[in-house]
Chains A and B, each alone.
Chain A
């Protein structure tokens, strides 16, 4: 049998970094092939070359036996290669049918297209209304838009870039069901992920990349997740450790918090209530876009609310701004690193000043004490192993994981009473993620209260004492995280958004 896609010696270098170095593998028709690797391993560059977004420097590809060198995505789509992006590929202000039409070469008339969307979505168990605005859809539904966009073109190869990172466990089940059905029909799937258990369940073969090089291939069903992790990371990982302890007095309390959204596609918060105690890690799970950003904005003080809605050690702080809250010990690290947690074009020293000024006393009568500020930035860099030439480097120049270590470390070193972090390890590779989680646990160990908002359920189960879920702006009752199964968590996340597989 000839392979569907043969890749031989693909190489792509960017200034200063070789993204892919002599990578070769092949995919059979109907095969689900995993591409495994940490951030920066070169997975994205590799699939961009297959999809025609990036031209390889060297190497050749063959599709169905014929030479294949797509000059642009249009050519790739024409050849039967479709791609579901991790993000950046939907238009929120356009409706589902318009979004799908944009991804097709010769879209039919809107009415015919709507009918075909309904037809395909029923066939593959992905219910979707063609005339809804994409901005109103949940993450899982948005992904369905992308998948259906691809399926309407009868692809021979479907590329999926980290498709499950934003899905609830139930949504993942539905997705896998669809993918297996596709594979049974002969469509090959190139599946990018760093979630090993998923790959073991779904994939027939795996290629593992590390630092742009292919370091191995395996049959995921036959090897252990730990083995694949070692290949991926190149060393063994330690699991964050913690001692048992009893939570202390309540440090932060939120009562009856309801907030209207600030943007047309935002989520309102509806009667949110919870409390966190000293020495405790509260995990807040939920699929993106269910009010996480809004909740963080309320806790940080960016969205002021009535004073009594948020109390810190008994004091009402709801109406205070971010700086006043920092002074009282309530610190936050938002999800978006560039532009929210850090100013991209300012140096690390300047970024350290931006949140550390009050608690670290980095200014005197309105004048910045640069020596002290640089010292603080250096302490963060040193303590959290931020890989950078020095504190004078612009935040933008750091890789996502390193900058994340910096912004989290910057808040932790300010010795917060309560620390709120949103997606602390998003886009961070496994070893850096472990370090960040350990730091959060240590902080709680020393008597602070920590709130972790995350979409990574494994992470929440690993570090939380109690777990609750945000769904459409409502927060579920917190439950002890220990012994909580994935099934229960999935139900807490909102019963997979009232979506079920289409009636069979």
Chain B
């Protein structure tokens, strides 16, 4: 059984990126006090829109923009339902996932197996050919570097800037934020759309770069893993990155183990990334009082601007 650690690490980064993008978007949404369970639906909409545009236009930049647009369109629907019409967030989110899966399947009819352009890599070949560091650090497509920068940016904005403070305040106590004159609904609209764009981008990465194909249900629960990551990472951006890499690592590893035909049932190997990620994150966040500290206190509660 030969598993090359370098290719494993390269693979894990690629595998983890869709989940990472979706999770970091959802983290911002939840920090503003909104629970959007429609991540899976927004991701698959991103996947199908990105794939269609990549095939039709041949431009990956347009494809990613379309993926973000697809995710945002669904997020907009969710925002209108929950923020303007005060619908229940859990029910709306679940409906959004089902709606997204169905709509994506409809849009994607006939696109399976069609070619998409390959994506350039930002670093020169000389760097990519370095031993060990070359493949691990420099061989990826630009979007992967963008996703890691995005984690850093989300951390910085939430922890250090005024807009981040306002987002956290709205998620902590929307009545108090309203009393101080902050536009709770407007801020939540913005974060929900941001979350949709991130999930859509993650979906587009999946279809255009990683799999380079479209098929129904291709997100295969990645959106749900992203949701779980946010909670078990205690709403901390860097822990989301760690969790995503763990998930990607196990997923990449189990594929290699399957190929090496180890004596473990395939079904168990298939399930292992989900199991291991959740178990590890549960252990990390097992100190309930500390985890509760960073949990947005107004998460999922409907805000009525009554006064």
Q: List the interface of chain A (C-beta within 8 A of B).
A: 48, 52-54, 72-74, 77, 85, 88-94, 98, 101-103, 107, 261, 263-264
Contacts and interface: CB of A to CB of B under 8 A. Distances in A.
A94 B176 contact: no
B169 interface: yes
Given A88-B175, A91-B169, A93-B297, 12 more contacts: A53-B179, A53-B307, A54-B307, A73-B180, A92-B172, A93-B168, A93-B293, A93-B296, A94-B169, A98-B165, A101-B165, A103-B180
Contacts, number: 60
Nearest to B173: A91
Contacts of B307: 48, 53-54
A48 B173 CA distance: 19
Contacts of A103: 180
A101 B296 CA distance: 19
A72 B175 CA distance: 15
B168 A94 contact: yes
Nearest to A260: B289
Contacts of B180: 73, 89, 102-103
Contacts of A74: 181
A72 B181 contact: yes
Contact of B292 (A48, A52, A264): A264
Contact of A94 (B172, B175, B290): B172
Given A91-B169, A92-B172, A102-B166, A73 B292 contact: no
11 contacts: A54-B307, A73-B179, A85-B176, A89-B179, A89-B180, A91-B169, A92-B173, A93-B294, A103-B180, A107-B162, A264-B289
Interface in B269-301: 289-290, 292-294, 296-297
A474 to B, nearest CB: 21
Contact of B173 (A72, A90, A101): A90
Interface string B170-185: 0011011101111000
Contacts of A77: 181
B174 to A, nearest CB: 10
A433 B159 CA distance: 46
A264 B165 CA distance: 21
A53 B177 CA distance: 12
B224 to A, nearest CB: 26
Nearest to A45: B307
Contacts of A53: 179, 307
A88 B173 contact: yes
A85 B307 CA distance: 14
For chain B, the bracket of interface size reads 20 to 34
A88 B173 CA distance: 8
Contacts of A264: 289-290, 292-293
Contacts of A91: 168-169, 172-173, 176-177
Nearest to B298: A91
A264 B295 CA distance: 11
Given A54-B307, A73-B179, A73-B181, A263 B169 contact: no
Contact of B289 (A72, A92, A107, A263): A263
Nearest to B293: A264
Given A89-B176, A102-B180, A94 B292 contact: no
B164 to A, nearest CB: 10
Contacts of A107: 162
B297 A92 contact: yes
A93 B181 contact: no
Contacts of B290: 264
B165 A88 contact: no
Given A53-B307, A91-B173, A107-B162, A85 B179 contact: yes
A77 B175 CA distance: 18
A50 to B, nearest CB: 13
Nearest to A266: B289
B165 A102 contact: yes
Interface in B92-150: none
Nearest to B176: A89
A101 B162 contact: yes
**Residue among A54, A102, A261, A264 with the highest chain B CB neighbour number at 10 A:** A102
A90 B176 contact: yes
A94 B181 contact: no
A488 B172 CA distance: 38
Contacts of A102: 165-166, 169, 177, 180, 182
Contacts of A52: 181
A92 B290 CA distance: 14
Contacts of A54: 307
A48 B180 CA distance: 12
A326 B179 CA distance: 40
A219 to B, nearest CB: 32
A103 B178 CA distance: 11
> What are the 7 closest A-B residue pairs judged by CB atoms, nearest first?
A73-B181, A91-B172, A264-B289, A89-B176, A88-B175, A74-B181, A264-B292
A89 B2 CA distance: 60
Contacts of B293: 93, 264
Nearest to B289: A264
Nearest to B307: A53
A53 B169 CA distance: 18
Contacts of B165: 94, 98, 101-102
A77 B181 CA distance: 10
B70 to A, nearest CB: 34
A236 B169 CA distance: 45
B149 to A, nearest CB: 24
Interface in B196-214: none
Contacts of B168: 91, 93-94
A473 to B, nearest CB: 15
Nearest to A102: B169
Nearest to A53: B307
Nearest to A90: B176
A21 to B, nearest CB: 19
Contacts of B177: 91, 102
B37 to A, nearest CB: 23
A93 B158 CA distance: 14
**Residue among A48, A91, A94, A101 with the highest chain B CB neighbour number at 10 A:** A91
Nearest to A107: B162
A89 B182 CA distance: 12
Nearest to A101: B165
A52 B293 CA distance: 32
B181 A263 contact: no
